[in-house]
Amino acid sequence: MSFTAVDVIRAKRDGGRLSDEQIDWVVDAYTRGAVAEEQMAALAMAIYLRGMDNAEIARWTGAMIDSGTHLSPATSRPTVDKHSTGGVGDKITLPLAPLVAACGAAVPQLSGRGLGHTGGTLDKLESIPGWRAALSVDEIAAQLDSVGAVVCAATEGLAPADKKLYALRDVTGTVESIPLIASSIMSKKIAEGASGLVLDVKAGSGAFMKTVSDARQLARTLVDIGTAHGVATTALITDMEVPLGRAVGNAVEVAEAVEVLQGRGPADVVELTVALAREMLTLAGISTDPAAVLASGEAYETWARMITAQGGDPSAPLPRPTHVHVVRAPATGVLASLDAYAVGVAAWRLGAGRARKEDPVQSAAGVLCLAKPGDAVTEGDPLLELHTDTPDAVPAALSALEGGYAVTSETPEARRIVLDTIKPS
């Protein structure tokens, strides 16, 4: 059966349901260049406005998976992966992957780079001297077999349709479409070949989904896609109103992750790491208690082997900033709020993030949250440390923080980290 791009666009524009054959054809034709960018832009907008049902989303995801290669590294361990929708201070992959590997699973974690106020796992790890993100399929397989965990860039040929469509959505105002978000995430994750997947869907000011209801809708869509493709999938909805942990940036987040692996670190980072590890191990059929393994130091040993296997030196000093600016408490009382988005934008402006994918990042840039909501503070106490190699960036970071924190006389309610769990229907 032959189709034209205009026919497919019109079908969705008018509120129709795309057939399996239409979806397969248009994704393949777009990947090959037979459907023009402006035509796919029109279709993406039609999908944004008209939506897709679950069967359409699952088929669209499958077509994007089939546009490239599948990564199915051979290992004797059960494979399980995790994906976060992104947040501020979200360094959870760093302690989580070696922890789950130390418990007996294999974790093929293909990660990305930061864009805007949300950080990227690869940017964080590249602050470690010698560490490299680009691995071949054979190197990934060997490291999974020997270490049990690998965190690296996606291999060439993995879901190329998504790579093209992701860039197009970014410049056509269609990023927020849940069908396109969900299929983008899941096409890459399913193509990795893991048998289980746990999703960390964040909700709050520092997250892509600002409300719990929107996060729940996205989580349900993601879980349904994974289930439709035979991947055991669970999602946790987690809080992102406040930065996760105390470190926001690149090297500072690596340092905080190492603290967690060594039995210390902020309570919220430890709590979420263990919660996600439990879900991953359940999907992998492993009954080991991750909290006990984390306390034993085994996860840190796995971390050191994982970093070394990718050329890094886990004992090397991390980059330090050339300039530190301290933000002090404006009054005596209790820190009532600390807005994740404001802190994320400040770290971005200090050099920890990028506005475009090709922009460089500063490994030493970021923000240290010396106080978190609920902490008592005295006027003049340090609240935040702004780290950068470009002092001229400090005024813009301070501007981003205006109104982003408040000191009052009342103690705020304690926040829960895990807000909900979404299981297969």
Q: Is residue 209 located within the same domain as residue 285?
A: yes
Residue at 63 is within a domain: no
Mean pLDDT of 266-294: 97
Residue at 87 is within a domain: yes
- Domain end among 290, 315, 340: 315
Mean pLDDT of 290-296: 96
Q: Is residue 137 located within the same domain as residue 116?
A: yes
From the candidates 81, 162, 224, 268, give the one annotated as an active-site residue: 162
Q: Which residues contact 6 (CB under 8 A, 6 or more apart)?
A: 39
CATH number at residue 21: 1.20.970.10
Q: Is residue 84 located within the same domain as residue 124?
A: yes
Number of separate domains in the chain: 3
Residue at 175 is within a domain: no
**What is the chain's Cα-based Rg?**
22
**How far apart, in whole angstroms, are the C-alpha atoms of residue 239 and residue 201?**
9
Written as six digits, the tokens of 304 are 């050191």
From the candidates 124, 169, 220, 246, give the one annotated as an active-site residue: 169
Look at residue 151 and tell me whether its pLDDT is greater than 80: yes
Active site residue 162: yes
Q: Is residue 22 located within the same domain as residue 127?
A: no
Question: What would the pLDDT profile of 216-260 be if each residue is shown by its tens digit?
Answer: 999 999 999 999 999 999 999 999 999 999 999 999 999 999 999
Q: Is residue 356 located within the same domain as residue 388?
A: yes
Domain that holds residue 269: 80-154+192-315
Contact 120, 285 (CB under 8 A): no
Q: Is residue 263 located within the same domain as residue 339?
A: no
From the candidates 188, 220, 305, 387, give the one annotated as an active-site residue: 188
- The 8-class DSSP code of residue 16 comes to P
pLDDT at residue 1, rounded to an integer: 64
Question: What would the pLDDT profile of 33-76 be if each residue is shown by its tens digit?
Answer: 999 999 999 999 999 999 999 999 999 999 999 998 888 777 88
Task: Write the secondary structure of 327-359 as one string of H (helix), E (strand) and C (coil).
Answer: EECCCCEEEEEECHHHHHHHHHHHHHCCCCCCC
pLDDT at residue 255, rounded to an integer: 98
Q: How confident is the model at residue 193 (pLDDT cuts 50, 70, 90)?
A: confident
Handedness of CA 118, 222, 28, 176 (dihedral sign): negative
Look at residue 355 and tell me whether its pLDDT is greater than 80: no
Handedness of CA 201, 205, 206, 209 (dihedral sign): positive
Q: Is residue 379 located within the same domain as residue 244?
A: no
* Ordered alpha helix ranges (H), 66-111: 93-102
Active site residue 399: no
- Using CB atoms within 10 Å of the CB of residue 252, give its burial: 0 to 12 exposed, 13 to 18 middle, 19+ buried: buried
What is the residue-averaged pLDDT of the chain? 94
How would you label 229-247 residue by residue, b for 16+ Cβ within 10 Å and e otherwise?
Answer: bebbbbbbbbbbbbbbbbb
SS3 state at 386? strand
Q: How confident is the model at residue 307 (pLDDT cuts 50, 70, 90)?
A: very high
Residue at 160 is within a domain: no
Quote the percentage of the chain above a pLDDT of 70: 99
Written as six digits, the tokens of 372 are 């978190």
Backbone angles phi, psi at 383, to 5 degrees: -105, -45
Q: Is residue 218 located within the same domain as residue 136?
A: yes
CATH number at residue 100: 3.40.1030.10
From the candidates 83, 164, 202, 246, give the one annotated as an active-site residue: 83
Alpha-carbon torsion angle 141, 143, 144, 148, nearest 10: 180
Look at residue 173 and tell me whether its pLDDT is greater than 70: yes
Q: Is residue 226 located within the same domain as residue 342?
A: no
Mean pLDDT of 294-322: 97
Residue at 420 is within a domain: no
Handedness of CA 220, 222, 228, 232 (dihedral sign): negative
Q: Is residue 210 located within the same domain as residue 354?
A: no
Could you tell me the CA-to-CA distances from 181 to 186, 353, 377 in Å, in that order?
9, 21, 41
Q: Is residue 201 located within the same domain as residue 248?
A: yes
Measured from the Cβ of residue 114, the count of other Cβ atoms closer than 10 Å reads 24
Q: Is residue 345 located within the same domain as residue 201?
A: no
Q: Which residues contact 362 (CB under 8 A, 6 or more apart)?
A: 250, 321, 350, 351, 352, 388, 389, 390
Residue at 37 is within a domain: yes
Kindly report which listed range (78-92, 121-135, 170-184, 333-347) carries the lowest average pLDDT score.
Answer: 170-184
Residue at 185 is within a domain: no
Residue at 159 is within a domain: no
Instruction: Give the relative orientation of helices 251-261 and 267-284 as an angle to the nearest 10 degrees.
Output: 70
Instruction: Give the relative orientation of helices 212-228 and 54-65 as an angle to the nearest 10 degrees.
Output: 60
Active site residue 83: yes
From the candidates 184, 187, 205, 363, give the one annotated as an active-site residue: 184
